[in-house]
C-alpha cells in the first residue's frame, strides 16, 4: 500500500518538533523504518475508519498493528468523528496533526493518538496542545493506543483534571523551543520532567 506523503505547507515547527526541541521528548529511538511503519499503519487505519480499506493492500508485517487498532476501537467503544485533522495556534505559531477525535462509550468528545512504538510521557502534552488548538474553551479527555505487531494494544488515558496543567507545561516547552521561555516556564518543565522520569 502506497502512503501519500503529507506536503508540508508550513515553515514553522510542528507540535512534535517543538516538544523535541524543547526537551520534553527524544525521538532519536524512532528510526526511519519505524517512521515509515507508522505512516503505513496510520494510513491503513484512516481508510478503515472511512470504510474504504482494501485489506489485501496492507503489507503482512503491518496487519497486526491494524488488527490491534480495530480491536482497540471495539473494546473501548470508540466512534471516530474526525480523523487526521490539522490544527494551528496563532499564539504559539505552531501547527499539528491530530490522529482522532471521537467518542468513547458515548461519553464526552475526546482526542486520541495512535502509536506503533512506545508511547512517551510527552504524548500527554502533545494531545493537550492538539485539543487546545482545536477548541481552547474545552478541557479535552485524552486517550492513546500503543499498537503492537502481534495484534495487541495498550490503552492509555490521561485525567481530564490534569489537562490544564499539562497544557501549561506544553506551552512552556514550545516557548523554550522558540527561545522565549521564562523562569517560571523552566521551573514548570523541570517539575514535569522529574515527575515523569524524563531526562
Reading the block at residue 101, the C-alpha cell is 477525535
Query: What Å distances lie between residue 108 and 12, 62, 164, CA to CA?
Result: 32, 31, 17
pLDDT digit string, tens, across residues 61-103: 999 999 999 999 999 999 999 999 999 999 999 999 999 999 9
The architecture CATH gives domain 15-195: Alpha-Beta Complex (3.90)
Model's pTM, two decimal places? 0.91
What confidence tens digit (pLDDT) does each residue in 164-196 have? 999 999 999 999 999 999 999 999 999 999 999
Amino acid at each position: 500500500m502506497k502512503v501519500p506523503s503529507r506536503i508540508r505547507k508550513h515553515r514553522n515547527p510542528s507540535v512534535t518538533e517543538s516538544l523535541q526541541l524543547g526537551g520534553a521528548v527524544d525521538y532519536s529511538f524512532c528510526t526511519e523504518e519505524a517512521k515509515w511503519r507508522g505512516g503505513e499503519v496510520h494510513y491503513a487505519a484512516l481508510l478503515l475508519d472511512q470504510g474504504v480499506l482494501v485489506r489485501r493492500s496492507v503489507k503482512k508485517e503491518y496487519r497486526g498493528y491494524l488488527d490491534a487498532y480495530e480491536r482497540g476501537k471495539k473494546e473501548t467503544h470508540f466512534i471516530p468523528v474526525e480523523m487526521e485533522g490539522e490544527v494551528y495556534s496563532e499564539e504559539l505559531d505552531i501547527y499539528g496533526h491530530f490522529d482522532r477525535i471521537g467518542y468513547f462509550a458515548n461519553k464526552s468528545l475526546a482526542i486520541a493518538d495512535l502509536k506503533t512504538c512506545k508511547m512517551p510521557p510527552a504524548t500527554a502534552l502533545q494531545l493537550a496542545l492538539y485539543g487546545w488548538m482545536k477548541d481552547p474553551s474545552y478541557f479535552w479527555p485524552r486517550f492513546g493506543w500503543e499498537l503492537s505487531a502481534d495484534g495487541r494494544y495498550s490503552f492509555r488515558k490521561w485525567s481530564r483534571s490534569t489537562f490544564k496543567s499539562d497544557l501549561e507545561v506544553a506551552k512552556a516547552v514550545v516557548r523554550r523551543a522558540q527561545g522565549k521561555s521564562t523562569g517560571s516556564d523552566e521551573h514548570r518543565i523541570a517539575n514535569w520532567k522529574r515527575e515523569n522520569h524524563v531526562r
